[in-house]
Amino acid sequence: MTYYPSLKLKYNEHIKLKLNSKFRYECIMQRPKLTKIVINQGLNIYIYDKKTLKNAMSNMALISGQKAIVCQSKRDESGFKLRKGTPISLKVTLRRNRMYEFLDRLINLALPRVRDFNGVNPNSFDGKGNYNLGIREHIIFPEIKTYLKHNLGLNITFVTNAQTDQEAQYLLSLFGLPFKTSPYV
């Protein structure tokens, strides 16, 4: 018996039909879908602290469900006091079932734990159907049990194959991502 995440089933059974009825696609391959989620975490001023790097890697693995890749600086930058090869950030790329599981946990568990949360910014699309979400504190995820003495933020990028931002926003809102409603729209 094969396991399918609930959001994947929701996409296959309901979201595809709603997308088709709203945008009237001629071909089923034109329907937008979520292709990957990229999670990035900058290490800020803690790049030389090995313990913080190790803890950040273990926290990122708990949040995403897979091991993080350490991104290193490509050249020396004296203005930032960086040496070539210094770890500066962590990233994880989620696809398939892990992507849907992470999105489900983000929408239902993590975002409601944000203080004074009233929706995500609908203006963070890049013009090509991709959405960027910035999170100030990574401790909103319930998987994090060990708190670092430093709060590290996350940047989450939702990559879709939608042609326009309106299609991508409609797709993400059908998944359950709560967008702010603007009083001017």
Statement: residue 90 has pLDDT above 60:
yes
Considering the domain architecture, whether residues 22 and 75 belong to the same structural domain is answered as: no
Q: Which residue has the higher pLDDT, 71 or 87?
A: 71
Considering the domain architecture, whether residues 21 and 108 belong to the same structural domain is answered as: no
Statement: residue 71 has pLDDT above 50:
yes
Considering the domain architecture, whether residues 41 and 22 belong to the same structural domain is answered as: no
pLDDT digits (tens, 9 = 90+) for 159-173: 999 888 888 889 998
Considering the domain architecture, whether residues 63 and 105 belong to the same structural domain is answered as: yes
Considering the domain architecture, whether residues 111 and 39 belong to the same structural domain is answered as: yes
Q: Which residue has the higher pLDDT, 140 or 47?
A: 140
Statement: residue 183 has pLDDT above 50:
no
Average the pLDDT over 36-40 and give the result.
94
Considering the domain architecture, whether residues 40 and 58 belong to the same structural domain is answered as: yes
15-19, 71-75, 99-103, 116-120, range with greatest mean pLDDT: 99-103
Considering the domain architecture, whether residues 22 and 54 belong to the same structural domain is answered as: no
Q: Is residue 171 part of a domain?
A: no
Number of CB atoms found within 10 A of residue 160's CB: 21
Q: Is residue 178 part of a domain?
A: no
Which pLDDT score, from 0 to 100, does residue 185 have? 42
Statement: residue 51 has pLDDT above 80:
no
The total of structural domains in the chain comes to: 2
CATH code for the domain in which residue 92 is found: 3.30.1440.10
Q: Is residue 167 part of a domain?
A: no
pLDDT digits (tens, 9 = 90+) for 9-18: 888 888 888 9
For 151, left (φ over 0), alpha (ψ -120 to 50), or beta?
A: beta
Considering the domain architecture, whether residues 119 and 142 belong to the same structural domain is answered as: yes
Q: What is the mean pLDDT of the chain?
A: 82
- Sign of the CA dihedral with 162 first, then 167, 169, and 175 last: negative
| Segments forming the whole domain that contains residue 46 | 33-161
Instruction: Tell me which H or E stretch contains 36.
Output: strand 34-42
Q: Is residue 166 part of a domain?
A: no
Considering the domain architecture, whether residues 8 and 64 belong to the same structural domain is answered as: no
Considering the domain architecture, whether residues 104 and 140 belong to the same structural domain is answered as: yes
Q: Is residue 149 part of a domain?
A: yes
Q: What confidence tier does 100 reach under pLDDT thresholds 50, 70, 90?
A: very high
Average the pLDDT over 96-107 and give the result.
91
Average the pLDDT over 126-144 and give the result.
84
Q: Is residue 140 part of a domain?
A: yes
